[in-house]
Amino acid sequence: MGLHFLGRRLLNALVALWGLGSLVFLLGRYDQAGGPEQQLLPDGTEADASTESRDPAALADARQAVRHRLGLDQPLFYLSQRVPAAADGARWRWNGTANQYHRWLARLLRGELGHSLRTGQPVAGQLGAALRCTLPLTGAALALALGAALWLGQGLAGPRCWWQGPVRALLLALQSAPPFVLALGLLLLLANPRALNWFPGYGLATEDGLTGWAWFGELAWHLALPVVSLVLAALPDLALQLEAALRHELGTDYATAARAKGLGEARLIRRHALPNALLPTLTQAAGLVPALLAGALVVEVVYALPGMGRLLASAAALRDYPVVLGGVLLTGAARLGALLLADVLYHRADPRIRWAR
Partner 1 sequence: MWALLAAACSCSTTPAPPVAVRIRWAQDPENLDPMVLPNPQAIEAANLLHCSLLQLDYAQQLFQPALATGLPARQALGDSLTVFTYELRPEARWDDGKPVTARDVAFSLKLMACPPALGLPNEDTRLAYRFVHEVRQEAAFPRRVSLVCAGQAPTHLQATGTFPILPEHRLDVAGRLRRFSLAALQNWPATQPPDTGLTAFAQQYQAFRVRQRGNDLPGCGPYVLAGWTKDARMTFRRKPAWWADRLPAPVPAVLRAPCPLLTFEIIPDEATAGLALQRGELDLFPQVPARLFAQLRQSPAARRELAFHTAPSFEVVTVAFNTQRPALADAPTRRALSLLLDASGLLQATQLGEGQRTAGLIGPADPRAGCCDSLPPPAFDPPRAAALLGQAGWQRHPDGWRRRKIAAAPAPALQLRLRYRTGDAMQEIIALQFRAAASRIGVLVALRPTEAGALGAALRAGDFDLCVRTVKGNPFSCNFMPLLHSRAVGEGNVSRFGTAASDQLLERLAAAATPAQQARLLRRFQAMVREQDPLVPLFVVPTRLAANRRLAGLHAYGLKPGYALTALHRATATEPAAVPAP
Burial 155-186 (b: 16+ CB within 10 A, else e): bbbbeeeeebeeebeebeebeeeebeebbeeb
The DSSP output letter for 81 is: E
**Helix crossing, 123-157 with 321-349: angle to 10°?**
30
Site for partner 1 in 116-145 (CB under 8 A): 118-121, 126, 129-130, 133
Rule CB under 8 A: is residue 109 a binding residue for partner 1? no
Q: By CB under 8 A, name the one of 87, 109, 208, 253 that touches partner 1.
A: 208
Site for partner 1 in 293-322 (CB under 8 A): 301-307, 310-311, 314, 317-319
What binding mask, one character per residue, do residues 256-285 give for partner 1 by CB under 8 A, x or -?
------------------------------
Contact predicate 138/308, CB 8 Å = no
Beta strands in the chain (DSSP E): 79-81, 92-94
Q: By CB under 8 A, name the one of 1, 10, 13, 59 that touches partner 1.
A: 59
Rule CB under 8 A: is residue 29 a binding residue for partner 1? no
Rule CB under 8 A: is residue 27 a binding residue for partner 1? no
For 332, residues 6+ apart whose C-beta sits below 8 A from its C-beta are 16, 17, 20, 21, 290
Residues touching partner 1, count (CB under 8 A):
78
Q: Least CB distance from residue 211 to partner 1, whole Å?
A: 13
Site for partner 1 in 321-350 (CB under 8 A): none
As to burial, measured by CB atoms within 10 angstroms (0-12 exposed, 13-18 middle, 19+ buried), residue 128 is exposed
Q: CB-wise, 179 or 200, nearer to partner 1?
A: 200
Rule CB under 8 A: is residue 187 a binding residue for partner 1? yes
Contact predicate 250/268, CB 8 Å = yes
What binding mask, one character per residue, do residues 72-101 give for partner 1 by CB under 8 A, x or -?
------------------------------
Q: Least CB distance from residue 230 to partner 1, whole Å?
A: 14
Q: By CB under 8 A, name the one of 4, 8, 54, 82 that touches partner 1.
A: 54
Q: CB-wise, 215 or 355, nearer to partner 1?
A: 215
Rule CB under 8 A: is residue 181 a binding residue for partner 1? no
Q: Which stretch binds partner 1 (CB under 8 A): 82-90, 150-158, 211-219, 326-334?
A: 211-219
The Cα-based distances of 63 to 16, 44, 60 in angstroms read 35, 11, 5
Length in residues, the chain: 357
For 139, residues 6+ apart whose C-beta sits below 8 A from its C-beta are 292
Q: By CB under 8 A, name the one of 42, 155, 158, 179 that touches partner 1.
A: 42
For 319, residues 6+ apart whose C-beta sits below 8 A from its C-beta are 28, 34, 35, 36, 38, 39, 117
Q: By CB under 8 A, name the one of 21, 25, 29, 38 that touches partner 1.
A: 38
